[in-house]
Amino acid sequence: MMQGMASTAWPLFELRVTTPQLTLRLPTDAELMRLADRAAGRVLPPEQAIFMTEWTQLPSPRFERNLMQFHWRLRADWTPARWWLALGIYPTGEEDAVGGIDATTEQFARTRAATSGWWLLQEWRGRGLGREALAALAHLLFDGLDAHEVRAIVHPDNAASLGAARAAGFIHDGTERSIGGDGVAYDAVRVLLRRDGWTQRRRADIAIAGLDGCRELFGVRSRAGSDRRPF
């Protein structure tokens, strides 16, 4: 993909959120295909299928096709009033994504609220990347897009995801009836990060680049100097 085509036709490809540990950015199709190949049958072991929806347990090649179609559909359905940003998690020094984190919202310009979810390849868990990816996404939403709150829904037995959320500053916000990957209903844990909570943890080592060209897609106004460097 040529640089000019990416920045003009779909400027989200130029968006970057960088921390000392990782970068969040939109994967290219080639990168998504490699991630799909690596993740097939390995996102969650069967005993943890309840932690997420059933897509993690799809057999190959349905899993790979489902992952590709999901990302294509998000691009095709994107509007400033209703968008779903699915970013790849790229550890520093790695060329390929090792998981994903997203933000989905409706009428963001009015609500300034989004919901997030995230996942990592098994071999990349336990290194603090979930917490770091959440911190990076929160920085994009709060510092870059002036969000008021970010929510997530986590299975009560998913200690790793709950720990990552707590480390990123999310607080318990009740429960919500959900359907797990095994098709059984359960009481999911809602977690919430509000702007004041994020401000208390605001970091000086997270940088945002390429945001100005994306503001129209996010449904928010442009502002001078929105590409942030560590302050």
Could you please report the per-residue DSSP string of 106-163? ESHHHH-EEEEEEEE-GGGTTSSHHHHHHHHHHHIIIIIT--SEEEEEE-TT-HHHHH
pLDDT band at 3 (very low <50, low <70, confident <90, very high): very low
Give 109-167 pLDDT, tens digit per residue: 999 999 999 999 989 989 999 999 999 999 999 999 999 999 998 888 888 889 999 99
- Give the pLDDT score at 182: 67
Residues 212, 215, 221, CA angle at the centre, nearest 5°?
100
Per-residue pLDDT, 185:
81
Asked if 37 and 64 count as a contact pair (C-beta separation under 8 A), the reply is yes
Residue 135's CB is within 10 A of a number of other CB atoms, namely: 25
Q: Give the model confidence (pLDDT) of 67-112 as tens digits.
A: 999 999 999 999 999 999 999 999 999 999 999 999 999 999 999 9
Q: Where are the alpha helices (DSSP H) in the chain?
A: 3-9, 29-39, 62-77, 108-111, 129-139, 159-167, 195-201, 215-218
- In this structure, of 158-162, 198-202, 207-211, the range with the lowest mean pLDDT score is 158-162
Single-letter residue type at 54: E
Residue 225 confidence (pLDDT) above 50: no
Q: How far is CA 228 from the centre of its chain?
A: 19
Mean pLDDT of the chain: 88
Cβ atoms of 77 and 69 within 8 Å: the answer is: no
204: amino acid identity, one letter: A
Please name the fold of domain 3-218: Aminopeptidase (3.40.630)
Q: What is the pLDDT of residues 17-29, one digit of tens each?
A: 999 999 999 999 9
Please say whether the beta carbons of 206 and 17 come within 8 A.
Answer: yes
Strands 149-154 vs 113-120: parallel, antiparallel or unpaired: parallel
The pLDDT, as a whole number, for residue 224 is 40
pLDDT band at 179 (very low <50, low <70, confident <90, very high): confident
